[in-house]
Amino acid sequence: MNDRYSDEKMHNGAAVTLPCVNENGCYEMRLESIGGLGANLCGKLLGELGATYLGLNAAAFSSYGSEKRGSPVKSFVRYSTRGSEILHNSPVERPHLLALFHGALAGVLPVTAGVGENCALVINTSATPDQMRHELRLHAGQIYCVNALQLALESKSRANMVMLGAIVRAAGFIPLEAVKSLITDTLGKKYPAMLENNLKGLTLGYEAVESKEFSPDEKYAYVPYREVRSKWGYATAPIGGANPHYGSTVSNDLSPSREGFIPLFLPEKCIHCGLCDSTCPDMVFQFTRGEYRGRSAMMNRGLDYHHCKGCLRCVDVCPTEALVAGKEAEHRDKKWFVRNKDLIVENIDFEPAGADASVTGEAYLDEKRVDGGLM
């Protein structure tokens, strides 16, 4: 019998008291992440925690269709007391707690939209709360910084376990013991070998937060949560959904999809064989005609890193080690960064984007992600 259903995880103790609720009687959380960091699972765990360990009504859902690696994901959690039904099914606009699973999350609307002074922000970063407030242009709120990647490595756990610990700490009303029971009962049953590390990651996250409160001092304006609207509307869009703006994905800056590594180009070693171009899914390599060994040839002039997702396929096929893997953090000024050669515009207003979203099934992904390897 599958353990997800076989077990009763009834809350034995008294229900917790929610420290604050909105006008609908709900305590609300929003987790912002990119696919692959486990925010979706973390949101579900928080929901399950509320429903079966804290004696609350809970709801958990994610921004749907956003399950690809590298794509932006939002996860929403609502709590209310048992007597108060959760009626809303829409995204969390003004969270009591916001968790940022990635330091540099992209989006048209800032991830901190709707964050007011009573909000706790949990951020996965090696920076300090002061630095993060500045970076996020945050109006106000209590910032909790935690280096989840580092602590995940230390505990041989995953970043979402560390983040869960930090979230529980920042929320203030959730007993850590209840979370430990949840992890033991759910992930622990499925993956017993990882339980100890996961509990360690959770505890490290709980303990290692660095916190500071920022009052609304007019430094940065409050940004309300709003729906992102397209420039093409019913009065302006070509009919039928036709899109005459051919090749327009070129204005996506996919750097946020990368997970720390980039290919480095050593042109003196390049023999212009073109294998890199034949394996690159993202059309990053810029070949133009030139003269190689006295003959007219297409020559590799460099990479347009705007579109590189860091898959390192090119490094794997390069026969001369003209392409090697490097840590992006150590190569901020990418020497062989050349612009896409086919562009006919002077400037592009790049939109930061992750790899797009379409994978919607979860059963298989959950299993695989917990199995590990993605961190």
Partner 1 sequence: MKNAEQKPLFESGNELAAYAAKQINYHVMGYYPITPSTQIAEYLDQMGADGAHTIALMPAEGEHSAAGICYGAAAGGGRVFNATSANGLLYALEQLPVQSGTRMPMVLNIACRTVSGPLSIKGDHSDVMYTLNTGWIILFAESPQEVYDCNICALRIAEQVRLPVIVAFDGFFTSHQKRNCYVFKDDQTVRDFLGPCKEQFGVLDPAHPVTVGSYMNEPDIINNKYQLHLAMEESRTAIPAVFAAYEQLSGRRLRTLKAYCCEDAEVLLFVLGSAYLTARAAVDRLRGEGKRVGVFTLGVLRPFPADEVAQVCRNAKTVLVADRQDSYGARGGNMSLEIRAALQKSGATVRVISRIYGLGGRDFYEKDALDLFSLGYDENTPDFDYIGKNEGDTHFTPKPYFAPITEKKASGLITCTEENGKVLVKGATVRETLARPKRLAPGHGACPGCGIPVNVNLLLRGIEGNVVLLFQTGCGMVVTTGYPKTAFKVPYVHNLFQNGAATLAGLSKMYHQRQARGELPAGEITFVMVSGDGGLDIGMGSAIGTALRGDPVILFEYDNGGYMNTGYQLSYSTPLGAKSATSHLGEVSVGKGFFHKDMPRIMAATGMPYVATAAESDPNDFIRKAAKAQHYAKSHGTAYIKCLSACPLNWGDRPNTERRVIAAAVDSCYFPLYEVEQGITTLTYDPEQKGKRIPVEAWLKMMGRTRHLCEERYESVRQALQGEVDRRFERLKIEAAHPKL
Q: Which of the residues 192 through 231 are near partner 1 (CB under 8 A)? A: 227, 229-231
In 191-231, which ranges are continuous DSSP H helix? 195-207
- Asked if residue 236 binds partner 1 (CB under 8 A), the reply is yes
Cross-strand bridge partners of residue 61: 76
Q: Counting Cβ atoms within 10 Å, is residue 326 exposed (0-12), middle (13-18) or buried (19+)?
A: middle
For residue 187 the two structure tokens come to 């992930």
With contacts defined by CB under 8 A, name the span among 51-59, 99-107, 157-165, 195-203 that binds partner 1. Answer: 51-59
Q: Which of 247, 294, 330, 333 binds partner 1 (CB under 8 A)?
A: 247
Residue 168: CB minimum distance to partner 1, A:
17
Taking the least distance from each CB to partner 1, the nearer of 105 and 315 is 315
Which two structure tokens, joined as six digits, stand for 81?
């007391």
Q: How far is the CB of 308 from partner 1 (least distance, A)?
A: 9
Q: How far is the CB of 82 from partner 1 (least distance, A)?
A: 9
Smaller CB distance to partner 1: residue 59 or 122? 59
- Does 181 participate in binding partner 1 (rule CB under 8 A)? no
233 binds partner 1, rule: CB under 8 A: yes
The pair of three-digit structure tokens given for residue 275, joined into one six-digit string: 């294998």
State which of positions 342-371 bind partner 1 (CB under 8 A).
Answer: 342-345, 348, 353-365, 368, 371
Query: How many residues touch partner 1 (CB under 8 A)?
Result: 108
Residue whose C-alpha is closest to residue 292's, from 322, 259, 313: 322
User: CA-based Rg of the chain, rounded to a whole angstrom?
Assistant: 23
**Which residues, numbered 272-301, are part of the site for partner 1 (CB under 8 A)?**
272-275, 277-284, 287, 289, 297-298
The Cα–Cα gap between 47 and 51 comes to 6
Rounded CA gap, 233 and 236, in Å?
Answer: 5
Q: Which two tokens stand for residue 52?
A: 């079966």
